[in-house]
């Protein structure tokens, strides 16, 4: 390992995968030991089996193995976030610990990064999963690509390679780890994908079911909002307020027309009630937009967090000398 740290950090979340850990470690080691400086960072996400015991043995036998252990199960996104935060490599490769991701694909992903990309996403073109898992995944991938405008075939594939500086700008919550390529792209990162080998599970039990689809859809709404309006929420709430105001005006005019021309009794007229509700909604939407604007400004200013991301700065030799 060089003085600047390893070139590659392999981050693998672990949850009840005791039977897969030794083979995974051996495959990663065989792939990387001759050509790269690397470390393997396992994150034990509150495993209930002997996964941590196995990880402790691997750590004791090999200094390149590091282990983070959670107090309880926090989920894959939290495990990846912890791994990213503690990784020392300049390139971070995330992968599942269930042996369905193939470590032999890591050199190809690293080579793709060295072509100038910032994120390389794996595409499980030939998946070894049931139809009940593949079909919802295909629909979700199409929907995510359409809404985020970052076209990838397989957002759900954990096997991805990142430049470390890209992840430094990304905060993960919920099931957000699958949206990292989109979030990174919105910050100016160059994103691509390559076909990777997907292997059938040979031991252990799959941890992900159809119930996670709903969480992904809700997170997609959040990501879509963050990507479009995180620094200008008044555009959303103000737009809804203006739409509600227009409805209120139209309904109000209809009520007046009915009263003047048909002498309609206003006491039980549902349109009058809708007019009042629309007017109240207008006020609420606009106030929500103003409050959201205050929160956004407080967030950015309190942390001295800019609303932009700089890739690089080219300076003249004179300016560099003056800064010394």
The answer on 253 and 126 residing in a single domain is no
pTM: 0.73
User: What's the length of the chain?
Assistant: 324
In terms of C-beta density within 10 A (0-12 exposed, 13-18 middle, 19 or more buried), how is residue 30 classed?
exposed
Mean predicted lDDT score pLDDT of the chain = 84
Could you tell me if residue 282 is inside a domain?
A: yes
Token pair in block for residue 123: 């595409």
The answer on 207 and 249 residing in a single domain is no
C-alpha torsion sign, points 66, 71, 74, 78: negative
Strand partners, 13: 43
The answer on 223 and 103 residing in a single domain is yes
Strand partners, 91: 8, 163
How many domains are contained in the chain? Answer: 2
| Nearest by Cα to 109 from 94, 89, 125 | 94
Q: Which of 190, 211, 229 is the last residue of a domain?
A: 229
The answer on 284 and 159 residing in a single domain is no
Could you tell me if residue 262 is inside a domain?
A: yes
Strand partners, 121: 160, 193
Q: Are 106 and 93 in contact (CB under 8 A)?
A: yes
Least confident of 6-15, 19-28, 170-179: 170-179
The answer on 39 and 93 residing in a single domain is yes
CA dist 84 to 8, 41, 177, 213, 314, Å?
Answer: 12, 9, 11, 24, 29
pLDDT per residue as tens digits for the range 127-160:
877 777 777 778 888 888 888 888 999 988 999 9
Q: What is the pLDDT of residue 64?
A: 94
The answer on 261 and 209 residing in a single domain is no
pLDDT per residue as tens digits for the range 240-280:
889 999 999 998 898 888 888 877 666 777 888 898 899 99
pLDDT per residue as tens digits for the range 111-123:
999 999 999 999 9
Q: What is the pLDDT of residue 320?
A: 52
The answer on 211 and 293 residing in a single domain is no
Q: What is the pLDDT of residue 258?
A: 83
Q: Which of 191, 206, 229 is the last residue of a domain?
A: 229
The answer on 143 and 124 residing in a single domain is yes
Only one residue has tokens 């065989």, namely 30
The answer on 170 and 201 residing in a single domain is yes
Could you tell me if residue 112 is inside a domain?
A: yes
Could you tell me if residue 315 is inside a domain?
A: no
- Is residue 1 pLDDT above 60, yes or no? no
The answer on 282 and 213 residing in a single domain is no
Only one residue has tokens 């089996």, namely 49
Could you tell me if residue 206 is inside a domain?
A: yes
pLDDT per residue as tens digits for the range 3-17:
567 899 999 999 999
Could you tell me if residue 96 is inside a domain?
A: yes
Could you tell me if residue 239 is inside a domain?
A: yes
The answer on 215 and 70 residing in a single domain is yes
The CATH number linked to 127 is 3.90.550.10
Q: What is the pLDDT of residue 296?
A: 72
Q: Which domain holds residue 19?
A: 8-229
Q: Which of 210, 229, 248 is the last residue of a domain?
A: 229
Report the C-alpha gap between 186 and 172 in whole angstroms.
Answer: 15
Report the C-alpha gap between 223 and 258 in whole angstroms.
Answer: 45
Could you tell me if residue 312 is inside a domain?
A: no
The answer on 190 and 259 residing in a single domain is no
């Amino acid at each position: 390992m060089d003085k600047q740290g390893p070139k590659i950090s392999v981050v693998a979340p672990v949850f009840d995968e005791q039977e897969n850990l030794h083979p995974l470690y051996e495959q990663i080691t065989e792939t990387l030991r001759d050509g790269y400086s690397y470390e393997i960072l396992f994150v034990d996400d509150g495993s209930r089996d002997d996964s941590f015991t196995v990880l402790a043995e691997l750590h004791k036998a090999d200094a390149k193995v590091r282990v983070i252990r959670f107090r309880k199960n926090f989920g894959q996104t939290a495990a990846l976030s912890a791994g990213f935060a503690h990784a020392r490599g300049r390139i971070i490769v995330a992968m599942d610990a269930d042996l369905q991701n193939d470590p032999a694909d890591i050199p190809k992903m690293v080579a793709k990064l060295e072509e100038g990309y910032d994120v390389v996403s794996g595409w499980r073109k030939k998946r070894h999963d049931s139809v009940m898992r593949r079909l919802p995944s295909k629909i979700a991938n199409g929907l995510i690509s359409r809404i985020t405008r970052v076209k990838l075939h397989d957002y759900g594939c954990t096997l991805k390679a990142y430049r470390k500086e890209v992840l430094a700008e990304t905060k993960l919550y919920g099931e957000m780890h699958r949206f990292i390529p989109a979030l990174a792209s919105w910050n100016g990162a160059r994103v691509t994908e390559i076909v990777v080998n997907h292997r059938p599970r040979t031991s252990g039990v799959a941890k992900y079911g159809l119930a996670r689809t709903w969480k992904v859809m809700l997170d997609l709404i959040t990501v879509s909002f963050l990507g479009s309006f995180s620094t200008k929420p008044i555009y959303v709430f103000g737009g809804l307020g203006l739409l509600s105001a227009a409805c209120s005006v139209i309904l109000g005019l209809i009520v007046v027309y009915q009263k003047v021309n048909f002498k309609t009794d206003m006491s039980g007229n549902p349109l009058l009630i809708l007019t009042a509700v629309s007017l109240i909604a207008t006020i609420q939407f606009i106030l929500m937009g103003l409050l959201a604007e205050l929160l956004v400004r407080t967030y950015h200013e309190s942390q001295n967090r800019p609303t932009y991301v700089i890739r690089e700065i080219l300076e003249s030799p004179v300016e560099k000398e003056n800064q010394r």
